[in-house]
Structure 1
């Protein structure tokens, strides 16, 4: 078994698999090491919304980055299906960002200025979906579609493998050490060697920051979610209000989420958390009360000190990179992150604004 690679990516969530996908596409010998099953942690807990517009307030100055990532999915859905046969289950229909007051509508003016967003009156919204009649309308985010995260991650992983990448599941990394101009990665299954290392382990990246001489910290923002059975007409549009959502899967399930519990390392959902999201879902779509519960779960959103991910090189260089801390937008930003890391490794030009905003050793939020 080959244990020497040009690049080793630590972390097999959608970020790590996207990096492997873009590197393998360039014929670079890359391996992904994951402590569990690929896509089995935070990726599997996500709803999969590609919310470049619904998250506009947080990423206004970096809209070109998140928008480029959103658009890359239009290529990936075909490339992955043609190469691997896997459907990443990209669902059209967009997001209806519900509005209950004139004040909320005024706050949406920046995104309503985009050609990809339009205002819908309450009567038009209610005609399309069974929402709360007390809304005054909604911002229709036509391009904010969604994918099934595990399908997208598996598609990236499988396609990367078909292009020459190696995937090692249940291979927990204990330590990364520089030795004679390359890296030795110590794992529970022995040693791996690489010229480049990329840490993409979400909230579990902290110990690697510490090992590699950095003080960076990522904290978990626990999100609890619920799936219910929708036996009626499928929900053609995702409903979104105040960071809560109802998403129709390609089956008959609706995914409802999510709580935000800061620095909570317990991956188990709570009764209080599930009650909270049910109440908020009822405020958006009252008929959800009658639907049967299918399942419930929790996952960790990896949060940095300023809400922007760390994407880039270790401040001392040495062919060491990080791609972690994407908070609730890991699915959305995965393609652009994978492409950015690939470009940095092969020496392609990367937008200086992005490099500065995501740099690993930043101390204060950059004014862009």
Structure 2
């Protein structure tokens, strides 16, 4: 465990769990900027936001997993008969859940201090990076799959195989684990001065005094691989898709795009501000951008707020499925109705509960036809 004084704050990075109030002291080498009100704001703001996002993400993504599992069990042919879109959305929900499980830990940190030890600190930081990278990569895979299905419908049929999608998901997880190794390597539990000269333990990314270029390089890699490059791929795919649909009357395919485009749009809205602050911070560390104490204050508050907006993305996807995904709403209603009917039968006809009977969760031929593409859209 490292002990940190106010002269050392500049060496930290700006992730949501890495945020430190006096980090702006390093933004100028003249007079230090003491802005303790930022830490006070973080203590009031962060625990409430993190707990709220955790609850919404937990409930929403568990429902998503249950609906996908119900649909998958109704299909024949095993994993390779599963929809490509549902495969990627399944892994996206798992990624969101992994991030959500770390939020209560950091809510406790800001309300009190970090009390979970070094190992949990490193794992939690890695899960943050894992979700951030995997989230946009899974959305990029969905966009590319729609591009192949619509623009190259004839020639790409053999490529659009769910087993291939499973392999792609495995590769994404491996790559994201490698990128999150930065957090595992540099995460530390440090003791620092906070408001009123009180000391508190915080889970931080620690860089040595002579590693500014290394820190900036990692930030730029994060922005490029975790946001800019996948976003360019998605934009290219959807431009080609819209050109193709303008010359066709494929109404059902247009409907299927509505949810996917909504998912991508919300991801960009949630994470673009945070990446802009990260890019600005990198330019400042390189000396290309200069600012006063007020500029540092804006950077710290902005990073804190935009990080929380980005984190809220893990709770927003299930809401999009519910409001935009017609088939998802229908399958969720059927699942809830089936559970209620099953509990009613068990209560009123307990003596018959061991008799084989047809479950309400099975799909009729008409239902199977309606969900042949995806249970989500």
Instruction: Provide the TM-score with structure 2 as the length reference.
Output: 0.23
Structure with max Cα Rg: 2
**TM-score normalised per structure 1:** 0.23
Structure that is richer in strand per residue? 1
The structure in which a higher percent of residues are helix is 2
